[in-house]
Amino acid sequence: MALIKLRRRDEVRPGRPPDDSGEEQLGFPASVIPSIAQFLGPFWDTTASSGLSSASRDFVQEAAILLRLRLDWSGDQRRAAMSLWTATYKDPQRLVALVDFALRNILVGYSPKDAGVAAGELDRHLRDAGSPWQVRSVEGFVAYFLERRVDAGTTAALAAATSVLDDDGAHLVRAWERAYGRDPDPGGAYAEAVKAVEAAARTVVTPDDPTATLEKIIDELRRDSTKWSCVFTEPTKEGQSPDEVVIAMLDLLMRNRSDQQPPTVVITQERAESTVHLALTLVQLFRCGAISRR
């Protein structure tokens, strides 16, 4: 994805430290390890790096703290870097965490003009090796992260929906990252998906109320069906009108939240992922005028 603005993004969302539960997590195929080593090379000696933040950041030290590793600091920076590599390249969890950390802080190792090329090359190698991971970028930022790979059609739809980072697009990006990133946050993904739909629907349904919740948006749609027009004109086999179908989708999103009191819903990973896809559809419906005021 092309980066059209050169803006620093220094917020690093640290990954979850590896646990000792023995639970198997997806790592990288062995065939792509040399490519990963090549990508990480510029981070090892940040004093020689052309990255924007090399003067104030020590990648090796920060990575060691994140991964809770004791490195060999008895020699120069290169010795410590090789100690970090030795401790991570045979550990799937730690290596994924290390690459994700490097991508999120890519300006430590690469110059702005080289960052996109380096991230793109890494993604190509991961794809060619059949890796379950891919590199994602945030449009408008020099920022990347690892996410589990999904089908190309869905990622293309996400790219189109977030090409302009207004409120709904920004919430979709965060929902996607929390659902498909290296350290999933199902509850956070669901919450951001709801916010994305609210932001998109307000512009159509409650333009004079920039804080309208999903519940208020649904109530407004239900109040008078003659006020709304839909690109779909025929009812379903069960007799639901097109606008009723959209309301049902919004209602499904609202009633399955985990922030209700008392909480009655547990947001699983599967539900979070499905919710992000539902939100993507709803955002597009409101954005493109499929639902409009008569």
Residue 6 confidence (pLDDT): 39
Residue 27 confidence (pLDDT): 86
Residue 13 confidence (pLDDT): 43
Residue 47 confidence (pLDDT): 54
Tell which phi-psi region holds residue 287, choosing left (phi > 0), alpha (psi between -120 and 50) or beta.
Answer: alpha
Residue 263 confidence (pLDDT): 57
What are the extents of the domains in the chain?
Answer: 1-149, 186-293
63, 124, 137, 53: which is closest to 95 by C-alpha? Answer: 63
Residue 264 confidence (pLDDT): 64
191, 179, 181: which is closest to 136 by C-alpha? Answer: 181
DSSP letters of 70-94? ----SS-HHHHHHHHHHHHTT-HHH
Residue ranges, the chain, pLDDT below 50: 1-24, 48-50, 53-54
Residue 46 confidence (pLDDT): 63
DSSP letters of 135-178? EEE-TTSS-EEEEE---HHHHHHHHHHTSS-SHHHHHHHHHHHH
